[in-house]
Amino acid sequence: MTRTWQGGTLTSMALTYKDAGVDISAGDALVERIKPAVKATHRPEVLANIGGFAGMCGLPAGYNEPVLVSGTDGVGTKLKTALATGRHEGIGVDLVAMCVNDVIVTGAEPLFFLDYFATARLDLDVASNVIEGIAKGCSESGCALIGGETAEMPGLYQPGEYDLAGFCVGVVERSDIRTGETLSAGDVLVGIESSGLHSNGHSLARKVLLEELALEYEATPDLLNGASVADVLLKPTLLYVSALRGLSKASIPWKSAAHITGGGLIENPPRMLQKNPALNISLDTKAWTVPPVFSLIATAGIETFEMRRTFNMGLGMLLVLSPEDADAALGELARLGYRASVVGELAPGSGEVRF
């Protein structure tokens, strides 16, 4: 069949959305594949199943003045390593960790999570690996995965690429919000160790490791103690939910906390001070173990200040406690499986970090 259009001839074709690069059937198949993993994360408060237009979740019982706490984040250019190596299993955990670790420093309990997965063309195996990782992170955080969005956008993303964003909502009793008002000079800093890079500083890490040091992803330089470059770049971000919630359940009071993300040890610790800017944060760099990947990156001549401003340097979470509570906190964190130590203290000052 032909049609005339402005003096020319146009052949009629049965074009479909799939011809344009968007496969609705693949999206439906993905939803079916991930349903068991998603359902396993659900809390009693979840009111709707996956597949609806919106996720619904009630507030847990026991709160007198519940305050909702929200956070959103991605995993940055760590995705480039996952894409280059075909290793996607831990990226979903990273996404959850980057969001819930921000929410919990307020004292909140993570309640529910949503994800956004965007790609040029949907690969069911890759997408399901990522989302199953998200479900794993949610399960470990006690956080329900109640929805998400999968978007195919050919032309916006290159073939084989994808991007991620996460959104977390938590709840906290208004009287339990950590505002920093009770901080004082002499309070101690307990640092909970990171698993390595987590999900920050990867642009610099890749430039150093792959370009300046000319290493391959599967290279195993001596400083990494048998691990490959890909291993250390893709090691998942630690979830600190059970650490902070565990201290609270054990009635060990912590006053404030800082998730060490973008901005490293220079910009994140002062965020703990909030309403007490007349304090300095003094950190003893000999009090914790710096993971080997940071030592390897530093061999390229990266200045110490730049390292500290870009990376967590081995500390994923900082807590402020009264000195008399420090030993109990360290014991409970060890029982929960975290490596932690007293890494400094608060002193009179003007909101700076001192090493």
Q: What is the CATH number of the domain that holds 68?
A: 3.30.1330.10
Do 165 and 265 sit in the same domain of this protein? no
Strand, helix or coil for residue 340: strand
**Alpha-carbon gap, residue 262 to 102, rounded angstroms:** 12
Do 217 and 305 sit in the same domain of this protein? yes
Question: Pick from 176, 208, 237: which residue ends a domain?
Answer: 176
* Number of C-beta neighbours around residue 251 at 10 A: 9
Residue with tokens 């400083």: 223
Do 125 and 240 sit in the same domain of this protein? no
Note the Cα 289 to chain centre separation in Å.
21
Do 214 and 331 sit in the same domain of this protein? yes
* Residue 1 forms part of a structural domain: no
* Residue 232 forms part of a structural domain: yes
Can you give the pLDDT at residue 82? Answer: 98
Tokens read off for 284: 């003893």
* Residue 4 forms part of a structural domain: no
Do 62 and 159 sit in the same domain of this protein? yes
* Residue 113 forms part of a structural domain: yes
**Alpha-carbon gap, residue 197 to 170, rounded angstroms:** 25
**Alpha-carbon gap, residue 117 to 95, rounded angstroms:** 11
* Residue 8 forms part of a structural domain: no
Do 212 and 154 sit in the same domain of this protein? no
Q: For residue 32, with 0-12 CB atoms within 10 Å meaning exposed, 13-18 middle and 19 or more buried, which class applies?
A: exposed
* Residue 3 forms part of a structural domain: no
Do 212 and 331 sit in the same domain of this protein? yes
**Alpha-carbon gap, residue 71 to 316, rounded angstroms:** 17
Tokens read off for 312: 């967590």
Can you give the pLDDT at residue 50? Answer: 64
Question: Pick from 151, 176, 201: which residue ends a domain?
Answer: 176
Do 307 and 335 sit in the same domain of this protein? yes
Residues 6+ apart with CB under 8 A from 260: 194, 198, 268, 269, 312, 315, 316, 317, 318
* Number of C-beta neighbours around residue 64 at 10 A: 7
Tell me the average confidence (pLDDT) per consecutive run of 10 residues in the chain, 355 residues long: 50 68 76 84 84 85 96 97 96 98 98 96 94 97 94 91 97 94 96 97 98 98 96 98 97 97 96 88 96 97 97 98 98 98 96 94
Can you give the pLDDT at residue 274? Answer: 82
Q: For residue 337, with 0-12 CB atoms within 10 Å meaning exposed, 13-18 middle and 19 or more buried, which class applies?
A: exposed
Do 71 and 141 sit in the same domain of this protein? yes
Can you give the pLDDT at residue 53? Answer: 81
Tokens read off for 121: 């063309």
Nearest to 58 by CA among 73, 70, 42: 42
Nearest to 316 by CA among 228, 233, 199, 225: 199
Residue pair 288/343 in contact (Cβ under 8 Å)? The answer is yes
Residues 6+ apart with CB under 8 A from 66: 59, 171, 172, 173, 174
* Residue 212 forms part of a structural domain: yes
Enclosing H/E stretch for 80: helix 78-85
* Residue 96 forms part of a structural domain: yes
Number of structural domains in the chain:
2
Residue pair 243/336 in contact (Cβ under 8 Å)? The answer is yes
Do 158 and 234 sit in the same domain of this protein? no
Helices (runs of H) and strands (runs of E) counted in the chain: 11, 12
Question: Pick from 176, 205, 226: which residue ends a domain?
Answer: 176
Do 231 and 97 sit in the same domain of this protein? no
Do 237 and 89 sit in the same domain of this protein? no
Q: Which residue range forms the structural domain that includes residue 116?
A: 18-176
CATH number of the structural domain spanning residue 273? 3.90.650.10
Residues 6+ apart with CB under 8 A from 77: 202, 203, 206
Can you give the pLDDT at residue 4? Answer: 47
Nearest to 92 by CA among 16, 24, 6, 162: 162
Can you give the pLDDT at residue 3? Answer: 46
